[in-house]
């Protein structure tokens, strides 16, 4: 591992998880197989989050599922996954991965979230990230995650079943994301991940058709970064658990901006399409240089600095 990525000043502890640096692979990106997650780990990520997995296998939607728009990507993949009972084979292979392995979980009821989470933890996951925010599948994700009461019930049922950290990944498709964060924290969530994609669509003018097979999808990338920074800032002021920032992060400057807003760690997704997997190292190198230039001894010192009066 390169010096920068494991350098002492980048180490961070988030909700009890020790990370060599604050970068994480976002859920839904390359998280299907153990071997790919290992490649991402070798590339320098401080933690990895798997693709969301549910209790039963699912094929997701037909293509087009991922398309490019002016300011990022639109996706409606539809939560394809082999089901947790098959996915444990991938989790088990990653026992020696050396960084936190966070399994993203979705369900169609609080009980399903809890059951899937407990199987993932039993197989060796370091933590669970609850997908309370996928904007394009009926009966799960944001359909549960937009209701503070359901968020509370879901987080509580998972916390009752597992003894490892539980993150709640929240949706920006709501009037008050802070209410969702408060609901999650009050039910025992160990961290809040913000944000998932913004519900969106694109229509082709030549054929008059929505391009995504599912018509609606989630917007990621540059366009949502300012929304995500605002959400992280608001959540940081509202709850006392760590916030993990996600949305349009492409370089060290973006990462630092999220951390100043209150993020203890940041997740990278869409930008991998442009920067490749070297993005983890380059963000770490950039943060390292920034910390030295500004006279900080540890990355933890910049968390939430934008809130100082």
Partner 1 sequence: MRLLGWHIKNNIVRIVEIELVKPENPQVKTIFFRDELCSLAEPGQFIMVWIPGVDEIPLSLSYTSRDGLSSITVARVGEATRALTSLEAGDLIGVRGPFGLGFKIVGGSALIIGGGTGMAPLMMLIDKLVEKSIKVTVIEGAEDVNKLIFMDRLKDLSESKGVNVLFATKDGSYGSKGLATELAEELLHRREFDVIYTCGPERMIRRAYELAKLHSIDFQASLERYMRCAIGICGSCVIGRYRVCKDGPVFDVAKIKDVEKYLGNLKYNERGEMVPV
Would you tell me which residues interact with partner 1 (CB under 8 A)?
28-33, 35-36, 38-39, 51, 57-60, 62-68, 70-73, 75, 77, 80-83, 86-87, 89, 204, 206-207, 209, 211, 213, 221-222, 250-251, 269-270, 272-274, 276
Sign of the CA dihedral with 54 first, then 220, 73, and 142 last: positive
Residue (154 or 270) nearer to partner 1, CB: 270
Q: Which residues pair with 73 in a beta bridge?
A: 68, 220
Is residue 114 within 8 A of residue 160, CB to CB? The reply is yes
Cβ-based nearer residue to partner 1, 211 or 227: 211
CA of 286: how far to CAs of 157, 165, 255, 256, 291, in Å?
40, 29, 9, 9, 9
Report the alpha-carbon distance of residue 154 to residue 220 in Å, rounded: 25
Minimum CB–partner distance for residue 290 and partner 1 (Å): 14
User: What are the C-alpha distances in Å from 262 to residues 164, 192, 207, 218, 237?
Assistant: 23, 11, 44, 24, 8
The string of DSSP letters for 222-244 reads GGGHHHHHHHHHHHHHH-SS-EE
Identity of the residue, 157 or 220, whose beta carbon is nearer to partner 1 in the bound complex: 220
**CA 275/CA 279 separation, integer angstroms:** 6
Q: Which is nearer to partner 1, 64 or 124 (CB)?
A: 64
1 or 39, CB closer to partner 1?
39
Decide whether 273 or 305 has the Cβ nearer to partner 1.
273
CB 29 → partner 1: shortest distance, Å? 5
- CB 165 → partner 1: shortest distance, Å? 24
Min dist. Cβ of residue 211 to partner 1 (A)? 7
Q: Which residues are identified as catalytic?
A: 134
Inter-axis angle of helices 252-261 and 279-294, nearest 10: 60
Helix, strand counts (H, E) of the chain: 11, 16
The three-class DSSP label of residue 305 is helix
Rounded least distance, CB 195 to partner 1, Å: 17
Cβ atoms of 271 and 221 within 8 Å: the answer is: yes
- Residue whose C-alpha is closest to residue 300's, from 270, 274, 253, 264: 264
- List C-alpha distances in Å: 80 to 31, 84, 137, 219, 236: 12, 12, 11, 18, 32
């Amino acid at each position: 591992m390169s010096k920068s990525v494991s350098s002492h000043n980048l180490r961070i502890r988030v909700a009890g998880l020790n990370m060599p640096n604050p970068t994480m692979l976002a859920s839904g990106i390359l998280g299907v197989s153990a071997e790919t997650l290992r490649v991402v780990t070798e590339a320098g990520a401080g933690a990895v989050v798997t693709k969301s997995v549910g209790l039963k296998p699912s094929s997701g939607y037909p293509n087009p599922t991922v398309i490019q728009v002016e300011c990022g990507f639109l996706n409606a993949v539809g939560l394809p996954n082999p089901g947790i009972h098959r996915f444990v084979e991938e989790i088990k292979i990653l026992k020696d991965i050396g960084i936190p392995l966070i399994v993203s979980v979705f369900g169609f009821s609080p009980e399903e979230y809890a059951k899937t989470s407990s199987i993932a933890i039993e197989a060796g996951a370091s933590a669970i990230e609850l997908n309370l925010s996928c904007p394009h599948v009926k009966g799960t994700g944001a359909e549960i995650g937009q209701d503070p009461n359901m968020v509370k019930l879901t987080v509580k049922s998972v916390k009752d079943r597992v003894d490892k950290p539980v993150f709640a990944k929240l949706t920006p498709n709501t009037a008050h994301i802070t209410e969702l964060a408060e609901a999650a924290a009050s039910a025992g969530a160990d961290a809040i991940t913000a944000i998932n994609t913004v519900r969106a669509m694109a229509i082709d003018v030549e054929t008059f058709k929505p391009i995504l097979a599912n018509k609606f999808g989630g917007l990621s990338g540059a366009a949502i970064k300012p929304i995500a920074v605002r959400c992280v800032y608001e959540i940081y002021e509202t709850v006392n658990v760590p916030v993990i920032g996600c949305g349009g992060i492409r370089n060290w400057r973006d990462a630092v901006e999220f951390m100043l807003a209150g993020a203890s760690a940041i997740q990278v997704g869409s930008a991998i399409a442009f920067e490749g997997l070297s993005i983890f190292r380059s963000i770490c190198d950039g943060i390292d240089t920034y910390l030295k230039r500004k006279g900080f001894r540890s990355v933890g010192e910049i968390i939430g600095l934008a809130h100082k009066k």
